[in-house]
Structure 1
């Protein structure tokens, strides 16, 4: 599967390929950042024993890819 993706990427125009890879990288970085911020808030809500906020954020965390 991964080899097929890599082979297809090699057939794409180099400029377009670089743009696509940069976009994937930025998307991943944004998701990582969002995830870390949510985890920080979850930790705060655990310390404050705020069950509703904890449950809301853990649910939100599940949907970040």
Structure 2
């Protein structure tokens, strides 16, 4: 299986402070993963600090 986190870096908040925004996203999703099903097909949108969708995390199975 693979855990994939994709974030579009051209969002306004990510352009202003890429390291800060990515750090916030990683902290938030890292802390929330215990509440998520980590089975193939699972996933959820990822939001910046202004609550705009900037990406997605997904779990892919061995055939993906």
> Is the structural similarity TM-score above 0.5?
no
From the two aligned structures, give the one with the greater helix fraction.
1
From the two aligned structures, give the one with the greater strand fraction.
2
TM range (shorter): 0.3 to 0.5
Q: TM-score, normalised by structure 2?
A: 0.33
